[in-house]
Amino acid sequence: MNYLKSERLNRLSYAIRGPIFDKAQQLEAQGHKIINLNIGNPAPFGFDVPDEIMEDMILNLRNAQGYCHHLGIFSARKAIMHYTQQVGIKDVRIEDIFIGNGVSELIVMTMQALLNPGDEILIPSPDYPLWTTAVGLSGGTPVHYICDEESDWNPDVNDIARKITSRTKGIVLINPNNPTGAVYEKDVLEQIVKLAADNNLMVFSDEIYDKILYDGHKHTPTASLREDVFFMTFGGLSKNYRATGFRGGWVIASGAKEKAKSYLEGLNLLASMRLCANVPTQYAIQTALGGYQSIDDLVGEEGRLRKQRDLVHYKLTDIPGITCVKPKGSMYVFPKIDLKKFNIESDEQFTLDLLTEHHVLVVPGSGFNTFDKSHFRVVFLPNADTLNKAIGEIENMLEERRLP
């Protein structure tokens, strides 16, 4: 008898590291050089973790040998608490903060702690697909709401309202957004939290890119908007501090916590079952959150990330048949291909052919649970020369496939 994976995994996928990623690995093993524009992993592209964070971690390694409290070390949670005070999230106590091995672990834990079969969670489309997968893994039903490309990828509040049912438990927001680069407008967020208040829904706000903002755009922490809604706000070291490999993230419970006592007890149980998060990383959190924020230099007028965002956006939108909303935050662009102009059936065919024929790896939009199949995601972390070359290849492929 064969050993089969559990049935609940049959319905799940994670496209960012899915079949197309495996294909790229095969091609590399055969000696081909692949340009990787597929994963938001800053350090390999020369976006190093700030020295002070690195030094603090090394200095504290000897103190970090044992398990710590299952919610995280005190200094890190205190620093996160101070952060909530700075950004206007009210009444957060140390015990409202859970530290995890990256936001990924906490997304799965926060869904596992909540969902019963048939419970629904509203998730943006497109989304960072772990959200959809985590809801499915936890026995819930992901229900996708439209983020509208025509309005800079802001959530369509009417669509959210239409999709609320008696089984809806919560709304997920990803702001700044992966994969679209959207930074949501305050009034849109206000309308969404009003819907949450009116329908007694929890709000899960993934704000891991909250400092990666361009052109002076401002980020509004969702949990700063109301006190009568229960919020879980996610943040971490991976993106703002380029420390993806350290695996450090947190989630903050705030707002109507009195309604969430049982839920938080459940989450506490899950946190204690995995004993604690990676301890050395936690020693870097206080240093990361305090004082000088080196990300500001990367996203500012002269910043490398800002320049690369401009380059990629300019070059892609220069290709006839491609349109693309300019990202206001994060490290991704999410262009649309006008498929009827090309001999290309879908986003999946486009990405597979681009990989096998032109050795450029991007992720198909459908991997982010889009309603259509005509987008792809580009990570603009590689340097300008590499980005130029990659977009040149995209242009070549589209010229080859252009219909008369």
Give residues 209-248 in contact with ligand PLP (rule: CB under 6 A).
236, 238, 244
CB-nearer residue toward ligand PLP: 123 or 391: 123
Min CB(2)–ligand PLP separation in Å: 32
Among 49, 92, 103, 398, binds ligand PLP (CB under 6 A): 103
Give residues 118-177 in contact with ligand PLP (rule: CB under 6 A).
128, 174
Among 132, 168, 178, 308, binds ligand PLP (CB under 6 A): 178
Total binding residues toward ligand PLP, as defined by CB under 6 A: 13
Distance CA 147, CA 371 (A): 10
CB-nearer residue toward ligand PLP: 47 or 358: 47
Min CB(260)–ligand PLP separation in Å: 21
Min CB(244)–ligand PLP separation in Å: 5
CB-nearer residue toward ligand PLP: 168 or 281: 281
Distance CA 116, CA 108 (A): 14
CB-nearer residue toward ligand PLP: 160 or 208: 208
How distant, in Å, are the alpha carbons of 42, 46, 227, 239, 401 from that of 298? 12, 12, 34, 12, 36
Print burial letters for 188-215: b (CB count within 10 Å at least 16), e (below 16): bbebbbebbbeeebbbbbbbbbbbbbbe
Give residues 242-301 in contact with ligand PLP (rule: CB under 6 A).
244, 249
The DSSP secondary structure of 74-143, one letter per residue, reads HHHHHHHHHHHHHHT--S--GGGEEEESHHHHHHHHHHHTT--TT-EEEEEES--THHHHHHHHTT-EEE
Could you tell me the strand order of the sheet in which 168-174 lies?
97-100, 249-255, 230-236, 202-206, 168-174, 120-125, 141-148, 154-155
Q: 334 with 324: CB under 8 angstroms? A: yes
Q: 245 with 44: CB under 8 angstroms? A: no
Min CB(103)–ligand PLP separation in Å: 4
Give residues 353-382 in contact with ligand PLP (rule: CB under 6 A).
none
Question: Peptide bond preceding 126: is omega within 30 degrees of 0, i.e. cis?
Answer: yes
Q: Which stretch binds ligand PLP (CB under 6 A): 67-75, 99-107, 221-229, 318-326?
A: 99-107
Min CB(194)–ligand PLP separation in Å: 24
Tell me: does residue 104 bind ligand PLP (CB under 6 A): yes
Distance CA 128, CA 130 (A): 6
Min CB(128)–ligand PLP separation in Å: 4
Give residues 193-212 in contact with ligand PLP (rule: CB under 6 A).
206, 208
Q: What residue ranges bind ligand PLP (CB under 6 A)?
A: 40, 102-104, 128, 174, 178, 206, 208, 236, 238, 244, 249
